[in-house]
Structure 1
């Protein structure tokens, strides 16, 4: 085991040290093992278990994969994000990585759930979450909140109250709101290219 590291020093030679009520003199960490905290979509909650393998990548080591494993799950869904917090442990005895880093995590889940994929351009990313603009038969828009699953680049998995029969607007304008009427320009495989109606168009 490597000795702990001093990552922060708040005093120096000659400083007055108060016995109580002051701030910590040093911050000491042991980075032989690192822990990562990851939010996963609710739909995968039952697939996560202790010992499940995970692969970690960081920007400073492109192409290098660090092996890790899940050690625990919060077991509860966050009502705001709709996600479950899990904890992953990584062996770092060679001190290649540092604490506090951000990393990308890939977990191979033993799941056969059919999760729909949509074009990434169909997502409406707003301050309170991610939405899809769904068009009803009377060409009225409803914004449906979703949780993003795996990202495949041009396509992403989405989890929410959606089904294959829905018509989703591709590349919706940021100003689009629920209840707004749209005019369908083109429809293909469930995707809709639409634009809001103006007063002139609605006549």
Structure 2
């Protein structure tokens, strides 16, 4: 008797199949039948794990967010100058997103629809709040070490989040250009504005 398939492995197989389909055809042009064919599983198995295409996309988005936020703790806690750590964060975020081409050229109206999903919004905001707390602490460290001039770290942090989100959103809906270059360029610009001057 053949061993029963591991549910976690089956779920991962489905997610990888969906990732390839979304990357190849985009969200709206990908059907659940496409994902069934790509995975080699039955339609019943697919629907047992995921209610619909939206649920699949949300699961992939959750994975992306996990990969985006995964390196933050190590970067934040390093001994490098604060300005360099901020730069590394921009690089880490861009590399995580670049590893997921299924999120390139996602229709903007679908991204807006996601925010109407209470569970998604709550989950994303919880992750974002954790990143905000870490970034505030990092900026405060920069002030205390004499790298940055005095400032409202809470407001500056949310400004940084909005800046990053805007750049990433434009990338996801298909704006041409290199995401890493844009994030690093904007990070450098912001860091330069925060630097402590001799007369500060």
Q: TM-score, normalised by structure 1?
A: 0.25
Pick 1 or 2: higher relative contact order, CA cutoff 8 A, min separation 6: 2
Give the helix-richer structure, 1 or 2.
2
